[in-house]
């Protein structure tokens, strides 16, 4: 299994040459080569996209999406970058500056979408109004829902065949274990190297979202990004509210340290089990109707009568205006 992360090397020498280990039992040069090949193999293995496709890469200015952007460009894919600025003060300002630099350097078109232009407000303002109204939405929930909505809307408008996200092996292992702990088969089924609802994908309602870093660990991505000296922000977002998720991350890190490669094994288990299940069997097992319908207000695909975005903006009616 070539994509399996390697165990720690006691001799601290690269397994391919005499140089010292940089990451994954390899020196920096061999690691770089291994890492890029792993992404190439992941794209082929899961049939994510081809050289003929117009690929939108959702970028945030962080290490994951910047790495995905650079490697896909290097591999010769037809890519454009798309970023959604939630207007989180200096944090997103700095990220945007970095993204503009990266895209200029590697000659990739950068498409910018902005919360203020779309909704008339920054994330922080939307959050504060929501709080005043007694809503319990976290910043990350609001940010995630609104960003996904905008990315899908513009990916369709700009006719991308798919949208790349920077999710990595750690993200996927955490998400799967969270769904196991919550016994949420429907959400678990929506994970995977190609995500979104299968039914909706088939009718082109959701632009397919794909994850070329699916088999790359967080550690590998940090090492690669630092080796490449990408101008990225390694600091966490100041609005981050992920205490619950962090508990899973810490738990898996502890297991990984003691029993590697725990995260890889979790993801492989998912791929061999839940990922292979058919939608109808999931419906039966979950005893729920997951028919994807349309939001009564905006017509976007959703599982309930009203999509979350309309719920959020509807609750804030009169204070937030959406762009028609
Ligand atoms: S950490 Fe949360 S609030 Fe910050 S950019 Fe990510 S989803 Fe948005
Ligand atoms: Zn080497
Ligand atoms: Zn809606």
pLDDT band at 292 (very low <50, low <70, confident <90, very high): low
Q: Cα of 19 to ligand 2 centre, how many Å?
A: 6
Q: Is the CB of 144 under 6 A from ligand 1?
A: yes
Checking if the pLDDT of 320 tops 90, the result is no
The residue whose C-alpha atom lies closest to atom 7 belonging to ligand 1 is: 140
Q: Cα of 221 to ligand 2 centre, how many Å?
A: 18
pLDDT band at 40 (very low <50, low <70, confident <90, very high): very high
Q: Is the CB of 307 under 6 A from ligand 1?
A: no
Atom number in ligand 1 closest to CA 238: 4
Kindly identify the ligand whose nearest atom is closest to the C-alpha of 300. 3
Q: Is the CB of 126 under 6 A from ligand 1?
A: no
Which residue has 């970028």 as its token pair? 59
Kindly identify the ligand whose nearest atom is closest to the C-alpha of 25. 2
The C-alpha torsion from 58 through 245 and 214 to 203, rounded to 10°, is -60
Structure tokens at 254: 């502890």
Single pTM value for the model: 0.89
- Ion ligand 3 — residues with CB < 5 Å: 295, 297-298, 300, 307, 310
Q: Is the CB of 146 under 6 A from ligand 1?
A: no
pLDDT tens digit sequence for 192-209: 999 764 443 444 568 999
Residue-level pLDDT at 200: 39
DSSP string, 77-100: --EEEEEEE---HHHHHHHHHHHH
pLDDT tens digit sequence for 165-177: 999 999 999 999 9
Residue to mutate (ligand 1; options 140, 165, 312; most atoms within 8 A of CB):
140
Residue to mutate (ligand 1; options 62, 65, 143, 149; most atoms within 8 A of CB):
143
Give the rounded distance of the alpha carbon of 108 from its chain centre. 20
Q: Are 262 and 255 in contact (CB under 8 A)?
A: yes
Q: Is the CB of 142 under 6 A from ligand 1?
A: no
The residue whose C-alpha atom lies closest to atom 5 belonging to ligand 1 is: 237
Q: Cα of 152 to ligand 3 centre, how many Å?
A: 13
The residue whose C-alpha atom lies closest to atom 3 belonging to ligand 1 is: 140
Q: Cα of 60 to ligand 1 centre, how many Å?
A: 10
| Partner residues linked to 110 by β-bridges | 81
Fold of 43-233+242-315: Rossmann fold (3.40.50)
Task: For residues 50-58, give the mean pLDDT.
Answer: 97
Atom number in ligand 1 closest to CA 236: 1
Kindly identify the ligand whose nearest atom is closest to the C-alpha of 115. 1
Structure tokens at 30: 């061999």
pLDDT tens digit sequence for 117-163: 998 889 998 888 878 877 788 899 899 989 998 999 899 999 999 99
Task: For residues 41-48, give the mean pLDDT.
Answer: 97
Buried b (16+ CB within 10 A) or exposed e, 199-220: ebbeeebbbbbbbbbbbbbbbb
Q: Cα of 311 to ligand 3 centre, how many Å?
A: 7
Count of H-run helices and E-run strands, the chain = 14, 8
Cis peptide before 261 (omega within 30 of 0): yes
Checking if the pLDDT of 322 tops 60, the result is no
Q: Are 217 and 3 in contact (CB under 8 A)?
A: no
């Amino acid at each position: 299994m070539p994509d399996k992360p390697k165990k720690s090397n006691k001799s601290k020498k690269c397994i391919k040459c005499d140089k010292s280990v940089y990451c994954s039992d390899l020196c920096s040069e061999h690691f770089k080569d291994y890492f890029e090949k792993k992404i190439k193999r992941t794209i082929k293995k899961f049939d994510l996209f081809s050289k003929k496709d117009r690929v939108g890469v959702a970028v945030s200015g962080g290490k994951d999406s910047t790495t995905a952007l650079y490697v896909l460009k290097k591999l010769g894919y037809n890519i454009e970058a798309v970023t959604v600025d939630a207007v989180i003060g200096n944090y997103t300002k700095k990220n945007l500056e970095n993204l503009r630099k990266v895209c200029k350097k590697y000659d990739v078109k950068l498409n910018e979408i902005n919360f203020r232009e779309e909704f008339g407000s920054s994330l922080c303002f939307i959050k504060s109004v929501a709080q005043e109204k007694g809503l319990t939405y976290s910043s990350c929930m609001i940010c995630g829902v609104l960003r996904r909505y905008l990315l899908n809307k513009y990916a369709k408008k700009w006719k991308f065949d798919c949208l790349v996200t920077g999710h990595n092996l750690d993200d996927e292992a955490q998400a799967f274990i969270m769904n196991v702990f919550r016994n949420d088969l429907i959400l678990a089924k929506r994970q995977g190297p190609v995500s979104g609802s299968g039914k909706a994908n088939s009718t082109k309602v959701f632009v397919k979202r794909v994850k070329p870093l699916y088999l790359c660990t967080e550690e590998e991505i940090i090492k690669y990004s630092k080796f490449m000296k990408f101008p990225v922000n390694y600091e966490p977002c100041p609005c981050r509210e992920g205490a619950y998720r962090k508990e899973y991350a810490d738990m898996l890190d502890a297991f990984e340290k003691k029993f590697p490669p725990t995260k890889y094994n979790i993801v492989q288990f998912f791929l061999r089990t839940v990922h292979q299940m058919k939608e109808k069997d999931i419906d039966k097992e979950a005893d729920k109707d997951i028919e994807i319908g349309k939001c009564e207000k905006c017509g976007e695909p959703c599982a309930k009568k009203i999509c979350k975005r309309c719920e959020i903006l509807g609750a804030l009616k009169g204070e937030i205006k959406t762009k028609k």
